[in-house]
Every structure is written in C-alpha cells, then in structure tokens.
Amino acid sequence: MQLPKKGLITFKEKIFQMLKDFEKYDINWNDGRLFGYIFDPGKKYRNIAEKALLQYYHKSGLDFTVYPSLLSLEKEIVDFAIKHLNGDDSCCGNFTSGGTESILLSVKAARDYALSKNPKIKNPEILLPITAHAAFHKASQYFNIKIKPVAIDHKFKVDLKDLEKKISSNTILIVGSAPSYTYGVIDPIEEMAKIAQKHNILFHVDACMGGFILPFFKKLHIDISNFDFSVDGVTSISMDFHKYAYAPKGASVILYKNKELRKYQIFSCSDWIGYTMINTTIQSTKSGGPLAATFATLLAVGEDGYLKFAKEKWKAILKIQEFIEKHPDLKLVVKSNTPLIAFTSESVNIFHIVDEMNSMGWYIQPVFRYGNIKESIHLSINHSNVKRINQFLKDLSSAVEKAKKLPSGTLIEKIQPYIDQLDKTETIFKIFQLLNIQPGEIPKRFAPINEILNLLEPSLREKILLEFTNLTYR
C-alpha cells in the first residue's frame, strides 16, 4: 500500500469501495453458516451494541482516572459476572479483550502468587488436561512455565488419578474446562477442586465458552455439573462475553476468588521517565468500545432473551446429535450437553467433508488426530445457526456423499521422502514448493494438506504452520 499523494477525504466512497473489495473472498459471517468464530445475536441486538461501541470507541482505558465512565462500566460488568458465577463479596475481576488474555492473566497471577508464597518453587508448572485450550500453552511460552499434560478418561473428562499423580512441589496451578472447546465436555470441577484444596494449589476454571450460557442451561433443567465459585477450591474463572453473551468481539472477564490473588495480575511501573503505567490487563491503551458494547448487549438481551437463546440452542444441539447418531457414516465423538459438538467418521475422509461444506458456503472446523484420538469435525452452535439447522443437515448429508467419491492421500506420497526431515525449515520450504503453496496465497481446498498434517505429530504441525504463517503475512 502507498499513501495517496493527496488524501481521499473528498472521495470517501472510494475508500469504502476498496474495503469492500477486500471482503470479496470472505465467508458471509452473518447468515448463520459459520459454526465457529461468529456469535451473532441478530441485527436488532447488534445495532444496539454497535451504537454503544462507537459512543465509547475513542475513550481510552489506559488511565481510569481520566475516564471514570470506563471504571464504572467495568465494575458493573464484573459485578454481574461474579453474581452470574455464584461468587461472593470477596470475588473480584477485570474486563479483558478475550479468552486468551483472561487466561494469560490468570496464569501470570498464579505464577507470581505462588512464587511469593513459596520462594522454593524454582520451575513453576501447570497441570493441564490435554483438552484444555491452547491459550494455556501460549501462557506457558510467554511466562516460562512448564506444562505437565494430564490425561483424560473415555468420556473426555480429566483423569483424576493422573491429575493427582502429577502434582509436585512445583505445581502452581491446576486447570479445568467448563466446557473444553473441542468436545464440549465439562471437567469434573468439584472433584478437581477437592484435589486442589487438599494440596493447597490454585485452581482455574476456563469457562470462556460455558461460563455465560451454562447457568441458563441449568435454569432450563439441563444436567450441568457445578463449575463456578459455588465450588469450594475454585480460585479463578475466565468467561467470555464475545461468545455466548453475544457481545461484539474484544470482551471477556477474568475473575478471582479474592483481591489478594488479583493483586499479582496488576502491572505497575514507575521506573522510567514518564507517567506511572498501571495496567490491570495486558493491553495498555485500549478502546472503551467493547466495554460499552458488552454492557449494552447484556441489557438489551436480558434474562428473557438469553433464556430464549439457550432454549433454541438446546433444541439445535439435540437435533444435530440425533442426526449424527443416526447417520450411517458419521459418529459423535462423545455426547455433549453444551453447544459444542464434535463428530467423526470411520468410513469417509472428514477433511473432504469439511471442504465440501465449505464449497457450499458453510464453515465447520477440522480437528487433527491427537495421540490415539481420531480426527474430527467441531461445531460451535450459536443463535444465527439455529434457523439454518435443517439446511445444514441436508447439505452435510450431501457433503458426505460427495466426499466418499473423492480420492484420499493424493499428496502424502509426494512428501513421504522428506517426512523424517520435517523439523528443518529448508525441508518445510521444499515441501511448500512440492505442494504448490504460493507465498501469500491461501489454498482453495485444504483436504490434501490437512491429511498430511493429520499424520504428523503436533510439534511438526506447529513448525509447518508457523512457517506457512510467516510466509503468508507480509
């Protein structure tokens, strides 16, 4: 891009036309065809959120003394979140930009709290179930904390015996999910909390996906096990508003059992020539827009609106699962009582199913094999999907039929001679050439490449996708 010699302020249509042109290959996000990435409550709520977003967009959360409105809004939202998750008066928290930021903060706070209480800890460790979100791995890399993976049982829940066995004098945090992303399964939070308490270890519940919606499911008498501050031993919880609370993106909350814990999240620096920088979150300058938009969305939808959303989603969850259970070529990975569902196939290449659905305008997400857990397809069901379920299931059936006729493993042979050297950057670039992957371009069909990635161990996938990303961005 080059700056125009003369600004286009008098030709603003041109600017917006250019922005529109960029969107040419984007999937249409607001017509209910994406089973992931989008949480859309529909136009009438969206309009209100967008208005609030713009009203507060230019206010900066850098310094709460300059914008008391942002402090007040954040207190209101955190207060709501604490009550929603059965916290008491000693609970506290902060508004963040998303689940990943909430998780990074929870881990940073846990590390510094544990180190301050027990200076003997030299190599802090987190006990992380293999179903827990990748954001904890990001925290481990950023904050130099070791991850000890914890096994899961046949129902895809944390294996409690393995959890207790892995506790050591270096353990600073135990993590559970409510629910875990891929399979929508809620970990046995009460049992995990008992173990955490017995060993005096902090316990974080990642309720980024479920924190908001599960209390509404409980009100509908759906069987949801306790996962929040009502469970003794839970010391922090992450919950996103930009998922099932349907706020626009950039909205999550990190909550703690008390301010003694939260203290370790706050950054304070006066050791430079300038203003003392005090941040509750990772971002420093940040827009007040998402706070206002979240506040407006919560008020606009209200208790009755969220219950209605929960009811329609529950119907959709049952319908989709019933369809998959009856389908001769598809198989549920595990029964889910949350809006996150995963299914697989013993007879059809699921990566072709994904591509076929994509060519019909749908987005469903492929999940690679992990150890002996087979590859699958993940769906996150949101309000905008509900009106499309019948069409979705019809198209899914036809995608399966089309996928059956497509060849599998077309590219695997090409890379076979290099498979032992895939940890080398030069080999990865060679493979990109062989697979005709052009710098900066996104392939149209992913199945042949996904098949290759699916064969590899996670560390090799990481390396290849990292190189691909580095190549793709300018």
Ligand X SMILES: Cc1ncc(COP(=O)(O)O)c(C=O)c1O
Cβ contact 204:110 at 8 Å: yes
Helix (H), strand (E) at residue 92: strand 92-96
Cβ contact 48:288 at 8 Å: no
Max CA distance (Å), the chain: 68
Task: Say whether the peptide bond before residue 179 is cis (omega within 30 degrees of 0).
Answer: yes
Closer CB to ligand X, residue 61 or residue 184? 184
Cα separation, 237 vs 207, in Å, equals 6
**According to the binding rule CB under 6 A, does residue 231 interact with ligand X?**
no
**Residues touching ligand X, count (CB under 6 A):** 13
Chosen residue from 191, 240, 356, 451 binding ligand X by CB under 6 A: 240
Q: How far is the CB of 248 from ligand X (least distance, A)?
A: 12
- Distance, first Cα to last Cα, the chain: 11
**According to the binding rule CB under 6 A, does residue 209 interact with ligand X?**
yes
Binding mask 135-174 for ligand X (x = CB under 6 A): x---------------------------------------
Closer CB to ligand X, residue 32 or residue 184? 184
**According to the binding rule CB under 6 A, does residue 206 interact with ligand X?**
yes
**According to the binding rule CB under 6 A, does residue 133 interact with ligand X?**
yes
Cα separation, 153 vs 157, in Å, equals 5
**According to the binding rule CB under 6 A, does residue 208 interact with ligand X?**
yes
Q: How far is the CB of 338 from ligand X (least distance, A)?
A: 10
- When CB distances to ligand X are compared, the closest residue is 99
Binding mask 98-117 for ligand X (x = CB under 6 A): xxx--x--------------
Phi/psi of residue 45, nearest 5 degrees: -80, -35
Contacts of residue 385, Cβ cutoff 8 Å, sequence gap at least 6: 32, 33, 34, 35, 316, 392
Closer CB to ligand X, residue 252 or residue 281? 252
Q: How far is the CB of 104 from ligand X (least distance, A)?
A: 9
Neighbours of 46 (CB within 10 A): 18
Q: Which of 368, 372, 375 is nearest to 464 (CA)?
A: 368
Ranges of H-type helices in 327-423: 350-359, 383-386, 389-404, 412-415
Interface stretch with ligand X, choices 92-100, 152-160, 325-333, 442-450 (CB under 6 A): 92-100
**According to the binding rule CB under 6 A, does residue 177 interact with ligand X?**
yes
Residues 7 to 66 in contact with ligand X, rule: CB under 6 A: none
Q: How far is the CB of 4 from ligand X (least distance, A)?
A: 35
Residue whose tokens read 């008491």? 88
Q: Which residues here bind ligand X, judged by CB under 6 A?
A: 98-100, 103, 133, 135, 177, 181, 206, 208-209, 240, 252
